[in-house]
């Protein structure tokens, strides 16, 4: 997840409520082998660590590419990316 700036992270439940959908589908492009997710009428990226690393604690982050400025949603495990969870109180 290099070259990404994390703008906002939310739980899967919060994301689904915000985009008004009941489900998120994780899919694979058979031509490229890359995974992505779909929700309602939108799509987002899935961590490159999937499926080798299961989504045990998934969250959705809005991220921006530091190279292009493009923003998109990224489905990943909590703790990957911008910060490492040290403790829950």
Per-residue pLDDT of the chain (89 residues), as tens digits, is 468 889 999 999 999 999 999 999 999 999 999 999 999 899 999 998 898 889 999 999 999 998 999 999 999 998 776 554 455 55
Query: What is the structure's pLDDT at 78?
Result: 87
- pLDDT score recorded for residue 45: 95
pLDDT of amino acid 2? 61
- Neighbouring CB atoms inside 10 A of 75's CB total 22
- CA–CA separation, 55 vs 46, rounded Å? 10
pTM here is 0.84
């Amino acid at each position: 997840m290099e070259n990404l700036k994390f703008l906002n992270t939310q739980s899967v439940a919060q994301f689904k409520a915000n985009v008004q959908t009941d489900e998120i589908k994780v899919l694979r492009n058979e031509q490229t082998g890359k995974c992505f997710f779909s929700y309602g009428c939108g799509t987002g990226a899935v961590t490159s660590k999937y499926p080798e690393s299961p989504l045990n604690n998934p969250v959705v982050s809005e991220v921006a590419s530091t190279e292009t400025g493009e923003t998109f949603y990224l489905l990943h495990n909590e703790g990957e990316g911008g910060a490492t969870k040290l403790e829950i109180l």
